[in-house]
C-alpha cells in the first residue's frame, strides 16, 4: 500500500489516515511515513493522527506524537485531555494540566470539563478544590458544562453541601441547568436529593420535560419508590410532555427495580414500539428479580424476532443463569457471545464477573479460579471480588486467602473485601486471623460502608440504619419488632448468629442481629403499609443470612409479601419462601 516509488501527497496521507482510523499498527506506519516525507511540519496531519490514536485508546503513542509537535494548539491539548478521561488515566491528565500551566498555555472552555472529570476519577478532594479555584480565577465557573462537572465532582466525593451550594449560585437556572443537576444526582446515587430538587423545580414553576422525567423515573427506581414514580409519569402525560420510547423504557426499568415484574411485563407487552433497550431492560429485570426462566424465554423470543442482542442483553442472560445456578446454560450463552464474533459483543469485565459468580456460587471454585487466569481481559477487583464472595459462601478458607491477597494488593482501600475475608475466618473460628484483618483495616483506614435500608411510605422515603432510634415512630417500631420476634421464635425461627462479625457474647450477638436495618424497615412497613400490599425494602448492601430467614418467617406470619432489593438482587418473600431459592 505504501510503495516507495509512489510520490505521496498530503491529501493521500490524510485519506490513508482516515481509512486506518481504527487500526493502531497502520497508524504507526503512517506516522513513520509522515515524518520521512517531511509532512510532519504540517500539524494538520499530526492532528488527524493524534485524534485517531486517542480514538483507539493508544494514549502512550498519542502523547509521543503530541510531544513532537512544536506548538500544539489548545484544541490538541483538549484532545489529549479527552483521551485521558476516556481511557481512565486521570494521573496523566493532572500531569498534563500541570505542564500546561508551567508553559503558560491558557485553557479554554473545553479544557476544564475534561480536567475536572479527571480529578473526579482520581478521587482526591484537595486537588478538586484547588482546580475549582483555577476555574474561578480563569472565569469559567459560570459556564454550564464546567459548573455541571464541578457539581458532579463534589457529588462523587460525597461533598453534597458544596455541590448544592454551587448549583444554587449558578447564574442562570434554566431547564437545562435543572436537568443537568438532577441527572448528576441520579448518576452519583443521590436519588433522594434528586427528588428534593425536582420538587423545588416544580415549586419554582419551571416546566419539566422528558429528560427530567427519565431522570426522575430512574431516581424512583433507585429508591424503590414506585408510587412517586408513577405519579410523576402520570403528571407528564397530563401535561402532554412527550413520552417517547426513552421515557417508556425508563418507566419499565423503574417497575423492575421496584420488584414489580408483573406490571412491568404488561407495560412491555403493551409498548407500541420496542427497541433493544426495552428487551434488555426486561431481561435484566427478570434476572434481578429471580425470574430466570422468564428472562431466558424472553431472550429466545427476542432472537426469534430477529433482534440483535447487545452486551446488556447478554449481561441479563448470564446473570439469569448465575442467579438460578444454571451452570451449563451459562457456559453455553457465554460461548455464543464469543462465537457471534461481533466487536460490540466482545465479553467485557462484567460478563466475566458474571461467569465467575455463576461458577463460584455453584461451588466450582477451582474452575472459577482457572477461568479468571485464562481471561482475555485483565481481571479487575469486581471479578476477584465475585470469587472471594463465593469463597465466603462456600467457606473455602485456602482459596479465599489466595484471592484476598490479590485483592488487598490491587484494592487495599476497599473495606468490603476485608470484611468478606474476616467473615471467612470468623466462620472457620479463626479469631486470631479475624483480629489481624481488622487491625489491618484500621491501619489502612478502610471503612465498612454503613448499611441502611429504606421504605417508601406516603410519598416519602424512610431510611433506617442498624439500631436506629432517630425515626419519630422508633418506639412503635421496636415494639413491633419484639412482638414479631417472639411470634416467629414460636414458629421455629432461630437467630443465625454465625453471620455476626466477631466472637462477642451470644446475647449481644442476638441483639445486634435483631436491630439490622432491614428488620427495622420491615417493622415500619408492617405498622404503616396498607394491608394486602407488598412491603418494599431497599438495602444498600447484601442482606445477611439472618435477615433473609427472618423475612421468610415474617412473610408467613403476616401473610404479607416482602420485596427486598439488596445490592446483588431481589428477594420476593411469599408465605415463608423466597424467590431466590437460597441462591444469592
Ligand atoms: Zn441482617
Ligand atoms: Zn432470597
> Ligand 1 centre from 512 Cα, in Å?
9
> Ligand 2 centre from 538 Cα, in Å?
13
d(Cα 511, Cα 505) in Å, to the nearest integer? 10
Across 371-399, average pLDDT: 86
Q: Which ligand is in closest contact with the Cα of 545?
A: 1
> Ligand 2 centre from 581 Cα, in Å?
6
> Ligand 1 centre from 562 Cα, in Å?
15
pLDDT category, 53, cuts 50, 70, 90?
A: confident
> Ligand 2 centre from 403 Cα, in Å?
26
Q: Which ligand is in closest contact with the Cα of 548?
A: 2
d(Cα 380, Cα 128) in Å, to the nearest integer? 26
> Ligand 1 centre from 500 Cα, in Å?
9
d(Cα 92, Cα 340) in Å, to the nearest integer? 36
pLDDT at 478: 95
pLDDT category, 398, cuts 50, 70, 90?
A: confident
Q: What does each C-alpha distance from 528 to 199, 206, 544 come to in angstroms? A: 24, 34, 24
- DSSP letter at 107 equals P
Q: What does each C-alpha distance from 545 to 177, 500, 549, 550 come to in angstroms? A: 44, 10, 6, 9
Q: What percent of the chain has pLDDT over 70?
A: 92
> Ligand 1 centre from 474 Cα, in Å?
18
Could you tell me if 524 and 545 are in contact, meaning their C-beta atoms sit under 8 angstroms apart?
A: no
> Ligand 1 centre from 576 Cα, in Å?
17
Exposed/middle/buried for residue 1 (C-beta within 10 Å: 0-12, 13-18, 19+): exposed
The grid coordinates of residue 572 equal 420476593
What separation, in Å, do the N-terminal and C-terminal C-alpha atoms of the chain show? Answer: 56
> Ligand 2 centre from 300 Cα, in Å?
26
> Ligand 1 centre from 517 Cα, in Å?
7
Please say if the pLDDT value at position 326 is more than 70.
Answer: yes
> Ligand 1 centre from 435 Cα, in Å?
22
Is the pTM here over 0.85, yes or no? no
Q: What does each C-alpha distance from 569 to 289, 316, 539 come to in angstroms? A: 6, 12, 10
The grid coordinates of residue 47 equal 492532528
Q: Which ligand is in closest contact with the Cα of 518?
A: 1
Nearest to 109 by CA among 73, 143, 152, 72: 143
d(Cα 448, Cα 189) in Å, to the nearest integer? 18
Q: Which ligand is in closest contact with the Cα of 563?
A: 2
pLDDT category, 251, cuts 50, 70, 90?
A: very high
pLDDT at 503: 43
Could you tell me if 289 and 261 are in contact, meaning their C-beta atoms sit under 8 angstroms apart?
A: yes
Q: What protein residues have CB closer than 5 angstroms to ion ligand 2?
A: 571, 578, 580
Mean pLDDT of the chain: 86
- For 173-203, what is each residue's pLDDT tens digit? 788 888 988 998 898 888 999 999 999 999 9
- Phi, psi angles (nearest 5°) of residue 29: -60, -45
CB atoms within 10 A of CB 375: 14
DSSP H/E element including 515: none
Domain ranges in the chain are 296-347, 348-449, 452-578
Please say if the pLDDT value at position 505 is more than 70.
Answer: no
> Ligand 2 centre from 290 Cα, in Å?
9
Fold of 348-449: 1.25.40
> Ligand 2 centre from 94 Cα, in Å?
45
> Ligand 1 centre from 516 Cα, in Å?
5
pLDDT at 432: 82
DSSP H/E element including 109: none
Q: What does each C-alpha distance from 575 to 483, 495, 525, 572 come to in angstroms? A: 19, 19, 17, 10
Could you tell me if 54 and 64 are in contact, meaning their C-beta atoms sit under 8 angstroms apart?
A: no
Across 85-111, average pLDDT: 90
Q: Which ligand is in closest contact with the Cα of 570?
A: 2
Beta strands 577-578 and 562-565 are unpaired
> Ligand 1 centre from 567 Cα, in Å?
13
Across 116-121, average pLDDT: 90
Would you list the DSSP string of 145-162?
HHHHHHHHHHHHTT-HHH
The grid coordinates of residue 354 equal 458474571
pLDDT at 6: 59
> Ligand 2 centre from 582 Cα, in Å?
6
Q: What does each C-alpha distance from 218 to 115, 182, 195, 407 come to in angstroms? A: 28, 11, 11, 32
Please say if the pLDDT value at position 393 is more than 50.
Answer: yes
Instruction: List the beta bridge partners of residue 465.
Output: 452
Q: Which ligand is in closest contact with the Cα of 539?
A: 1
Q: Which ligand is in closest contact with the Cα of 495?
A: 1
pLDDT category, 378, cuts 50, 70, 90?
A: confident
Amino acid at each position: 500500500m505504501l510503495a516507495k516509488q509512489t510520490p505521496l501527497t498530503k491529501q493521500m496521507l490524510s485519506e490513508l489516515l482516515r481509512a486506518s482510523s481504527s487500526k493502531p499498527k497502520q497508524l504507526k506506519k503512517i506516522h513513520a511515513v509522515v515524518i520521512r516525507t517531511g509532512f510532519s511540519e504540517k500539524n494538520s496531519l499530526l492532528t488527524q493522527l493524534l485524534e485517531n490514536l486517542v480514538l483507539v485508546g493508544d494514549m502512550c503513542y498519542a502523547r509521543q506524537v503530541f510531544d513532537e509537535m512544536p506548538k500544539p494548539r489548545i484544541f490538541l491539548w483538549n484532545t489529549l485531555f479527552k483521551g485521558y478521561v476516556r481511557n481512565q488515566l486521570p494521573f496523566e491528565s493532572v500531569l498534563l494540566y500541570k505542564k500546561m500551566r508551567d508553559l503558560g498555555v491558557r485553557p479554554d472552555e473545553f479544557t476544564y470539563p475534561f480536567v475536572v472529570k479527571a480529578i473526579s476519577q482520581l478521587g482526591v478532594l484537595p486537588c478538586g478544590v484547588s482546580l475549582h479555584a483555577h476555574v474561578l480565577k480563569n472565569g469559567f465557573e459560570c459556564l454550564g458544562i464546567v459548573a455541571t462537572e464541578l457539581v458532579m465532582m463534589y457529588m462523587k466525593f460525597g461533598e453534597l453541601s458544596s455541590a448544592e451550594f454551587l448549583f444554587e449560585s449558578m447564574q442562570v437556572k434554566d431547564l437545562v441547568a435543572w436537568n443537568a443537576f438532577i441527572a448528576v444526582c441520579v448518576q452519583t446515587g443521590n436519588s433522594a436529593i434528586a427528588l428534593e430538587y425536582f420538587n423545588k423545580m416544580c415549586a419554582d414553576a419551571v416546566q419539566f420535560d422528558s429528560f427530567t422525567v427519565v431522570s426522575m423515573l430512574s431516581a424512583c427506581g433507585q429508591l424503590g419508590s414506585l408510587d412517586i414514580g408513577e405519579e410523576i409519569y402520570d403528571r407528564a402525560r397530563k401535561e402532554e410532555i412527550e413520552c417517547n420510547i426513552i421515557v417508556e423504557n425508563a418507566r419499565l426499568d423503574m417497575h423492575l427495580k421496584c420488584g414489580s415484574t408483573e406490571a412491568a411485563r404488561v407495560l412491555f407487552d403493551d409498548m407500541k414500539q420496542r427497541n433493544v433497550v426495552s428487551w434488555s431492560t426486561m431481561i435484566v429485570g427478570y434476572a434481578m428479580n429471580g425470574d430466570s426462566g422468564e428472562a431466558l424465554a424472553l431472550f429466545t423470543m427476542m432472537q426469534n424476532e430477529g433482534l440483535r442482542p447487545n452486551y446488556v442483553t447478554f449481561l441479563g442472560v448470564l446473570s439469569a443463569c448465575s442467579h438460578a445456578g444454571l451452570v451449563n446454560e451459562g457456559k453455553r450463552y457465554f460461548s455464543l457471545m464469543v462465537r457471534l464474533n461481533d466487536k460490540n459483543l466482545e465479553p467485557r469485565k462484567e460478563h466475566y464477573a458474571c461467569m465467575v459468580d455463576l461458577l463460584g456460587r455453584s461451588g466450582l471454585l477451582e474452575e472459577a479460579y482457572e477461568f479468571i487466569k485464562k481471561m482475555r481481559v485483565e481481571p479487575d477487583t469486581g471479578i476477584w471480588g465475585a470469587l472471594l464472595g463465593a469463597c465466603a459462601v462456600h467457606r473455602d478458607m485456602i482459596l479465599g486467602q489466595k484471592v484476598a491477597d490479590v485483592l488487598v494488593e490491587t484494592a487495599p482501600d476497599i473495606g468490603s473485601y476485608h470484611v468478606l475475608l474476616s467473615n471467612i475466618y470468623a466462620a472457620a473460628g479463626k479469631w486470631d486471623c479475624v483480629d489481624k484483618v481488622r487491625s489491618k483495616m484500621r491501619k489502612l483506614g478502610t471503612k465498612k460502608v454503613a448499611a441502611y435500608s429504606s421504605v417508601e411510605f406516603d410519598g416519602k422515603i424512610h431510611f433506617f440504619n442498624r439500631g436506629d432510634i432517630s425515626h419519630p415512630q422508633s418506639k412503635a417500631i421496636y415494639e413491633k419488632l419484639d412482638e414479631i420476634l417472639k411470634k416467629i421464635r414460636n414458629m421455629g425461627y432461630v437467630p443465625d448468629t454465625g453471620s455476626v462479625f466477631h466472637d462477642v457474647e451470644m446475647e449481644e450477638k442476638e441483639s445486634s442481629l435483631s436491630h439490622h436495618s432491614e428488620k427495622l424497615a420491615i417493622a415500619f412497613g408492617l405498622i404503616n403499609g396498607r394491608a394486602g400490599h407488598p412491603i418494599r425494602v431497599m438495602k444498600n448492601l447484601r442482606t445477611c443470612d439472618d435477615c433473609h430467614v427472618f423475612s421468610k418467617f415474617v412473610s408467613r406470619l403476616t401473610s404479607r409479601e416482602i420485596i427486598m432489593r439488596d445490592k446483588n438482587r431481589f428477594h420476593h418473600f411469599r408465605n415463608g419462601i423466597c424467590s431466590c431459592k437460597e441462591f444469592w
